[in-house]
A and B are shown apart, each in its own frame.
Chain A
Amino acid sequence: DVKVTQSSRYLVKRTGEKVFLECVQDMDHENMFWYRQDPGLGLRLIYFSYDVKMKEKGDIPEGYSVSREKKERFSLILESASTNQTSMYLCASMLSGAGGTDTQYFGPGTRLTVL
């Protein structure tokens, strides 16, 4: 079974703080993703990575950066947290396949509150 773990289930930070969200997968997947989930907006892709040290912007990258120094680990960084970044953050991983036939496996999510 694929396991995707996220460092925290709940996190409370103050405006302006630097925030690190960590994600680790144990299945040697090439692709990793960061989403945020907000009511009425579904899952929106922030960043993804298809290999170590590679990253691509998703649909809503503003205010975020990412780091992928090792294949199994993908970090999401909020350089200066703001209240509009209060959300559920979901990490996912996927084996790189023949394009579009592999499912993404999600971690349990981190509920981030920025005060």
Chain B
Amino acid sequence: DQQVKQNSPSLSVQEGRISILNCDYTNSMFDYFLWYKKYPAEGPTFLISISSIKDKNEDGRFTVFLNKSAKHLSLHIVPSQPGDSAVYFCAADDFGNEKLTFGTGTRLTIIP
């Protein structure tokens, strides 16, 4: 049973425009959420996170929004750059559990 879902396997966005990546979860015990970025032949790297006590966290061009009632989070990238082309994974954690549950990933392609 997939507790963290990324329903869009791929997304193409024009350079300079906004990229919006979505993630849904089913486990109401999740209280911390992370986004990772992965280039081919490399390990994932941490991008941004958000605690369930917040609904927004911003870091430069990256903003994560959390809607707890809808069990939905999204990653906004503005403006999108060619170097943002990668696979993005969302992940979720619940308090006291050191494990992360990952989504299936969304491949983002930025078109120059």
Report which A residues bind B (CB closer than 8 A): 4, 9, 31, 33, 35, 40-45, 48, 50, 58, 90, 92, 94, 96, 99-101, 103-109, 111
Contacts and interface: CB of A to CB of B under 8 A. Distances in A.
Contact of B49 (A35, A90, A103, A106): A103
A3 B45 CA distance: 12
Interface in B60-112: 89, 91, 93-100, 102-105
Per CB-CB distance, the 6 closest pairs between chain A and chain B, nearest first, are A106-B43, A42-B104, A100-B93, A43-B102, A100-B32, A99-B96
A45 B46 contact: no
11 contacts: A40-B9, A40-B104, A42-B89, A43-B91, A48-B98, A50-B98, A58-B99, A90-B44, A99-B95, A106-B36, A106-B45
A100 B42 contact: no
Contacts, number: 64
Contacts of B51: 101
Contacts of B42: 108-109
B50 to A, nearest CB: 11
Contacts of A104: 46, 100
Contacts of B58: none
Contacts of A109: 41-43
Interface string B20-49: 000000000001101010000111111001
Given A43-B89, A94-B98, 9 more contacts: A33-B99, A43-B44, A45-B99, A50-B98, A100-B98, A101-B51, A107-B43, A108-B42, A108-B43
A84 B100 CA distance: 24
B97 A99 contact: yes
Nearest to B46: A103
B94 A105 contact: no
B15 to A, nearest CB: 26
Contact of A101 (B32, B36, B46, B102): B32
